[in-house]
Amino acid sequence: MTTLRLGIAGLGTVGAGVVLIVQARGDLLAARCGRRIEIAAVSARSRDRDRGVDLSGYAWEDDPVALAKRGDVDVFVELMGGSDGPAKASVEAALAAGKPVVTANKAMLALHGQALAEAAEAAGVPLRFEAAVAGAIPCVKALAEGMAGNRVTRVMGVMNGTCNYILTRMEAEGLPYDEVFEEARALGYLEADPTLDVGGIDAGHKLALLSAIAFGTRVDFDGVELQGIERVSIDDIRRARDMGYRIKLLGVAEAVGDGVAQSMRPTLVPADSPLGALEGATNMVVIEGDAAGQIVLRGAGAGAGPTASAVMADVMDVARGHALPPFGQPAAGLAAASRAVGGTDHAHYLRLSLRDEPGALARVATVLGEAGISIDRMRQYDHPGADAPVLIVTHPCAADALARALAGLEGTGVVTEAPVALQIQEV
């Protein structure tokens, strides 16, 4: 039986998890892919840190580029993170040396995926990244392989466990955003730069990768409309629940005419839908195709075990000799994404703060009507002060109509705070 030798760059939570699987499941891995899988060498920032796994049997390289070039490394596993710098340089070095690459680096792929895919195909080696999107959920494989016979119409999902934790914790305990944000920070759930999580950037990277596979385009992260969860209040969560909805940071990529609309933003989904029932730090990806219908994938979106599991799935595909272009079809044939701004028409939730005076609601209704937006439901809540909280649910409308209405509301003289507008997705 032949041996496949790994070089692992990055020994944080995920890297240590991969080492543990290789050490503990050697016989099982060999039985399933027909080759022994071993670790030849590793690289990380510090040699002295205790990572909870025995690294004494592996060669050490301080420079990940040197690791990528080693003669005894058959597959380069990049788990350092970062869109540029050592991660990108070492992946480029591995591909130039004709070595397969397995990575969990969504930021690098979202920004440089096309160039790296072309380099991998030119070298005739795989570039695999299942672990870059939604942890243990095999959504990359589902799109590129399982749904290969479908015309995909929509991909959507909750792809950042930290944001889902914050929103579900706010709802369950009735806590304000700022308090749960600090709790998440204390638990170590947030990135060093929290805006990567709560600003939707991390999840936007993942959506851009899935969108490229789903619609056969080049990765277009710049085309993802990003809106974080910072302005979602406990009142929004309660009022959405009153109407049978829950708020999720939801990524949506959908085919609209000849283009693709991509967005990552707080969205209302039916409480009784699979997405609405999602709790805690769990992820979910929903894929819709013309032949298969709707496919729902749910599982752990982060952590040592789940992400390492996805890394090893890619390693084992390489060991089996499975060859597939990184984005499901040859990179040279991927067209630049044609951006369809706004997507299809959707209903919206609007939260307004109005002066409690005669005619205020009439002025709001006039502005909405002039923008071509009709009202489905409207509620006014009890209030102790001079400003009245008003909730409006619109009938489906175009994004540009909503933008015109929001701009018009500023000139009514009765809106006392910037409106909160959240899309409603029926799933």
**What's the CA gap between 98 and 77, in Å, rounded?**
14
Helix (H, G, I), strand (E, B) or coil at 209: helix
Q: How far is CA 404 from CA 47, 261, 369, in A?
A: 57, 19, 11
Closest CA to 103 of 71, 70, 125: 125
Q: Which of 99, 141, 206, 248 is catalytic?
A: 206
Tokens of 249: 């940071």
**What's the CA gap between 403 and 426, in Å, rounded?**
21
206 in active site? yes
Which residues fall within 8 angstroms of residue 238, CB to CB, at 6 or more apart?
Answer: 171, 174
Task: Let me know: does 172 contact 183? Beta carbons within 8 Å.
Answer: no
Angle, CA of 238, 244 and 250, to the nearest 5°: 80
Beta strands in 71-138 (DSSP E): 75-78, 101-103, 127-128
**What's the CA gap between 73 and 42, in Å, rounded?**
10
How are beta strands 420-424 and 259-270 bridged, if at all?
parallel
Query: Distance from CA of residue 86 to its chain's centroid?
Result: 23
Question: The tokens 């060859």 sit on which residue?
Answer: 323
Task: Let me know: does 4 contact 74? Beta carbons within 8 Å.
Answer: yes
Task: Let me know: does 97 contact 71? Beta carbons within 8 Å.
Answer: no
Which residues fall within 8 angstroms of residue 172, CB to CB, at 6 or more apart?
Answer: none
Task: Let me know: does 248 contact 164? Beta carbons within 8 Å.
Answer: yes
Tokens of 168: 């579900």
Query: Distance from CA of residue 339 to its chain's centroid?
Result: 19
The residues annotated as belonging to the active site are 206
